[in-house]
Amino acid sequence: MKRLEQAKHNQLIIDKITRTVSYSYRIPSYKTVCRILEKHGLLSSVGNKWTERSVYRMLQRNGYSGLWGLHKFMLDKCP
């Protein structure tokens, strides 16, 4: 994937994770997020299955400090 395609793909994954985090009472575990991504047939930008570490690192590269940081960003964005 080229950088632009990778950025679009990562945004699609972040949107899916955001929906998962917003509909749950507690912040889900990384393992749960990986299972949800796998269930929907979403692979990483290089075509691998998602692992806990790869989800965390992808969120970090996109400016979030993991699932907690994504959740906090959503709360700050929509008070």
Per-residue pLDDT, 49 = 95
Query: Cα(77)–Cα(55) distance, rounded to whole angstroms?
Result: 22
Query: Low-confidence residues of the chain, pLDDT below 50?
Result: none
pLDDT score recorded for residue 55: 95
pTM of the model: 0.85
Predicted local confidence at residue 33, as pLDDT: 94
Give the pLDDT score at 79.
58
Q: In this predicted structure, what is the pLDDT of residue 71?
A: 84
Beta strands per DSSP E along the chain: none
The CB density around residue 57, as the number of other CB atoms within 10 Å, is 13
Domain count, the chain: 1
User: What is the residue range of 29's domain?
Assistant: 3-77
Integer CA distances (angstroms), 74 to 2, 23, 66, in order: 28, 12, 13
Integer Cα distance of 45 and 8 in angstroms: 10
